[in-house]
């Protein structure tokens, strides 16, 4: 563990010259809301200001995290998926995609994709695989699906089902039609029997809309809240699993969801490619 912590610190120091700590960044703010330590003062100030307007953000963050866990467990367990492509990884937290999947099936193969230098530094240092499985990392932008698929194909077998995970990332694509086109291109590169797992925050709370407006005016990469109906468009042409696109706390809830409200303003769904 000491060696692992030393490697993490060294990797972070190597990434620091590329990191702008003068502007809050969504992955670091999300990490702060989830109780993590991989954030800076500018992120904590922005996170606190957001929470003052919309106090429910931490509850929503937890609900989204538990949605990820339940979706991965379902796919690895009941659907037999052994490959995961997680784009927009975010900073490592408790129970990341590979840990959940490999707990069910140690031979699972996971590719993480991000283009934030701090995220990549932590991922390479901390997100290690089981001996039976594989975990790899790709430095790429969501707006470049061809590169993502090409690089992921060096680790994943695209002749077998893959779970494509787009967790809270499509809101950073300002044009909704462009976001839909990116999803279509990524899904088109996957074989039949693959799955799309997706959630994003929604414009279902006036306070949330106000908090996002303030956040976007602070110089960060903008995040666009959309309606649940707009999120449902990402699943066009796919077979949605029950209960469809729903509040993250209502997607197949289990004991993790105890204490969460039935309605949070993060909506998600899981769908199969025929």
Determine which of 12-16, 196-200, 207-211 has the lowest per-residue pLDDT on average: 12-16
User: Which CATH fold would you assign to the domain 26-255+262-273?
Assistant: Rossmann fold (3.40.50)
Confidence bin at 193 (pLDDT 50/70/90): very high
pTM of the predicted protein model:
0.88
Cα distance between residue 240 and residue 221, in whole Å: 30
**pLDDT tens track for 79-97:** 999 999 999 887 767 788 9
Confidence of residue 16 (pLDDT cuts 50, 70, 90): very low
Lowest mean pLDDT among 25-39, 53-67, 209-223, 238-252: 25-39
Query: Which tops the pLDDT comparison, 29 or 241?
Result: 241
- Residue 212 vs residue 26, higher pLDDT: 212
Backbone angles phi, psi at 131, to 5 degrees: -60, -35
pLDDT tens column, 204-221 = 999 999 999 998 988 778
- What pLDDT sits at residue 37? 83
Neighbours of 117 (CB within 10 A): 18
Looking at every residue in the chain, the average pLDDT score rounds to 89
How far is it, in rounded angstroms, from Cα 91 to Cα 120? 8
Q: Domain ranges for the chain, please list them.
A: 26-255+262-273
- The pLDDT > 90 percentage for the chain reads 68
Long-range own/partner contacts, residues 250-258 (CB < 8 A, 24 or more apart): 251/67, 251/70, 251/71, 252/70, 252/74, 253/70, 254/70, 256/66, 256/69, 256/70, 257/63, 257/66
CA dihedral 237, 68, 241, 143 (to 10 degrees): 0
Q: What is the pLDDT of residues 117-166, one digit of tens each?
A: 777 777 766 668 899 999 999 999 999 999 999 999 999 999 999 999 99
Q: What pLDDT shows up at residue 134?
A: 95
Which tokens in the block code for residue 225?
């809240």
User: pLDDT at position 101, please?
Assistant: 97
């Amino acid at each position: 563990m000491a060696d692992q912590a030393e490697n993490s610190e060294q990797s972070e120091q190597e990434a620091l010259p590329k990191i702008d700590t003068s502007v809050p960044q969504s992955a670091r703010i999300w990490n702060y809301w989830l109780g993590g330590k991989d954030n800076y003062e500018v992120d904590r100030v922005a996170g606190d200001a957001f929470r003052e307007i919309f106090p429910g953000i931490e509850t929503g963050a937890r609900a989204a995290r538990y949605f990820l866990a339940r979706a991965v467990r379902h796919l690895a367990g009941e659907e037999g998926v052994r490959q995961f492509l997680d784009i927009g990884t975010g900073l490592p937290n408790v129970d990341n995609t590979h840990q959940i999947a490999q707990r069910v099936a140690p031979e699972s193969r996971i590719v993480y994709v991000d283009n934030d230098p701090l995220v990549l530094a932590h991922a390479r240092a901390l997100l290690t695989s089981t001996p039976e499985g594989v975990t790899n990392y790709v430095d790429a932008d969501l707006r470049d699906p061809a590169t993502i698929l090409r690089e992921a194909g060096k680790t994943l077998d695209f002749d077998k089902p893959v779970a494509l995970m787009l967790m809270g990332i499509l809101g950073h694509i300002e044009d909704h039609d462009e976001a839909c086109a990116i999803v279509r291109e990524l899904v088109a590169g996957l074989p039949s029997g693959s799955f799309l797992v997706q959630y994003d925050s929604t414009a279902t709370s006036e306070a949330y809309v106000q908090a996002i407006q303030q956040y976007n005016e602070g110089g960060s990469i903008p995040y666009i809240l959309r309606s649940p109906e707009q999120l449902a468009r990402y699943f066009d042409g796919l077979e949605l699993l029950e209960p469809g696109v729903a509040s993250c706390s209502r997607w197949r809830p289990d004991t993790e969801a105890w204490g969460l409200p039935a309605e949070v303003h993060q909506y998600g769904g899981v769908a199969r490619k025929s």
